[in-house]
Each structure stands twice: as structure tokens, then as C-alpha cells.
Amino acid sequence: MKKFLIVGLGNPGAEYVNTRHNVGFLTLDAFAKASNVVFIPGRYAMTAETRIKGKTFRLIKPTTFMNLSGKAVRYWMNEENIPLENIIVVLDDLALPYGAIRLKGKGSDAGHNGLKDIEATLGRNDYARLRFGIGSDFSKGKQVDYVLGEWSKDESLDLSLLIDHCVKACETFALAGLNTAMNDFNKK
């Protein structure tokens, strides 16, 4: 049975629940809800597992905080014996307009501290990542406030539909492959 590791980046704690930086956690929460599974505490992460069409999905939400996400990714890769090509990381991206998603098989960290730590910990950057655009509607010097800020009223209107779109992209990545997922979801 083929296993996949779906990593949602975010920060643990009630104060971060509805922040833009936690879109990875929101995506995994929606994935778990759609699969009728719940997260339980695990080493370095909240974790859940589901099966879809003969494939196992290990969902993790690192509890190490964003800047130390690599520790959780490495641990669960090794614990579940999941190869790098079967990993997808879901994260926020300031460079994309709100709601746009971009799936890539490798790339730079683009200044994202979660990806930076994963790359430093694994010593590689050739793993899939699904970037969710949060836009860049902030004043100079206010990037941290914006990223750690809650979704605006307008953003909240269609957020759940956009999150469901990310869940489908993760499923397609595992069930049909990276190229099919990129073709199906990068153009929308």
C-alpha cells in the first residue's frame, strides 16, 4: 500500500487558529473532516490517518511552530517510511493573490520560514509544495502583522471553498500524480 505524507504548515495555539499563516492547518482540518478522521497528539505533530482508493494518507500539523517544521516532517517521513516524492507541504504565500494556488514538485523557500527549516533539516528542496495565495495587502513593515492576522470579512466569504480546492489538489497529487495535479489545479 502506497503512503503519502500531507503536511499542513501553521502555528499551534488558539491565537493562531484563524490566521493567514495557518492555511496549511485549515486545509488539513478540512481534509480530516471530509475523511471523517480526527487528529490526535503525536510526536512533533497532531496527526491523523485515512485511506482513499488503496492509498494511505498520513496528515500532520507540526506542533513545533512554523520555524521548526522540518523536525516534524523528518520524524514522520522516517516513522512511516514515506519517500520524499510522496510528500506534499501546504503553506501560505504572500507572492500569490488571495485564493490562487500553485503546486510545484520542488523549488526555493521564497523566504517562507517553514520551507526554509524543512529544506535545512532534510538537506533538499525537491518535495511537492502547494502554495495558497494570501496576497500582500499590507503596509511597509507590517508583513508579520498581516501574515499572523486573521482573514478579512471578504476573504472569509469563500475561504472554505478555496480550502476544499486545496484538499482536492492534495488528493489528486496522491491518486493521479504531480503532473496531473499541477495541470488540473495550477490554472484555476
Catalytic residues: 21
> Closest Cα partner for 169 from 89, 78, 111?
89
- Between CA 70 and CA 134, with CA 147 as vertex, the angle to 5 degrees is 95
Reduce the DSSP state of residue 147 to 3 states and report it.
Answer: helix
Cβ burial of 150 (10 Å; 0-12, 13-18, 19+) is middle
Encode burial over 134-146: b for 16+ CB neighbours within 10 A, e otherwise: bbeeeeeeeeeeb
Residues with Cβ < 8 Å from 161, sequence gap 6 or more?
Answer: none
